[in-house]
Chain A
């Protein structure tokens, strides 16, 4: 499957990190590990992604107050047909470090790539038909009422 990878957008407003660039690179790396995906400028499908949530969290807070200080990364991606623009699927990937002590120090540095890995895993499943494409509201079959129907 050939994909056009658009640069990700950061919707979180994070100032001290270039999350958009990190996510785009993480996508490039994760996709290159799966032989069925080829990133190409003239790909069949277009992958658009964005960082929708990022919380740096704190290992110390997690240790002190379980449930608090979570490190969170969340990515949303949409796959459209590059020719027709038709939506194929929407995938959300989320990674959280909820609990743990000092061994979770630095979770902020890999949380984005973990979220991207989650998206790519779901994308791979979708490409293999393991999950259905974007749910579509099936329109009912329209049949006009005629005088014959009324008897």
Chain B
């Protein structure tokens, strides 16, 4: 009789401990702040605000901000001199969802010459 009671009490304590652990783990997981490099700005306005061969780097800076990096590219058949390219990145992780986007802005001299935007937003999810 006494042994039964003691076993039940032990089981109750074990159950409570497991529940407390699970609650703690859930709290920590739900409190993890999202990590982000900062979302892109004004991307919806690229088509309307930037005009190929007309807009300048200052216009691109005003719209998209300071890029994450500059570089140059060369297609000898198109142009014998290298052209400048700006690179923007946006990465964010919230829970099991990852957002990753990149924009490449092309220039011809000081003038805007086009862009390339690739996005994995909504497509990348960690599966457990």
Contacts and interface: CB of A to CB of B under 8 A. Distances in A.
Given A84-B110, A85-B109, A76 B70 contact: no
Given A11-B41, A139-B82, A85 B57 contact: yes
A114 interface: no
Interface in B19-56: 38, 41, 56
Given A85-B57, A86-B84, A9 B65 contact: yes
Contact of B65 (A52, A137, A142): A52
A61 interface: no
A85 B73 CA distance: 16
Interface string B56-70: 111001100111111
Interface in A69-111: 76-78, 80, 84-87, 90
Contact of A135 (B38, B61, B71): B71
Which of A76, A90, A135 is most buried by chain B, counting CB atoms within 10 A of its CB?
Answer: A90
B82 to A, nearest CB: 5
A57 to B, nearest CB: 13
Interface residues of B, number: 24
Tell which of A80, A86, A87, A134 has the most Cβ of chain B within 10 Å: A87
A53 interface: yes
A146 interface: no
Contacts of A78: 61, 66-67
Main secondary structure of the interface of A (DSSP, over half): strand
Contact of B61 (A48, A52, A136): A48
A50 interface: yes
Contacts of A77: 66
Interface of A: 9, 11, 48-50, 52-53, 76-78, 80, 84-87, 90, 134-137, 139, 142
Given A76-B65, A87-B84, 14 more contacts: A11-B41, A48-B61, A49-B66, A50-B66, A77-B66, A78-B67, A85-B57, A86-B110, A87-B70, A87-B86, A90-B67, A135-B71, A137-B73, A139-B74
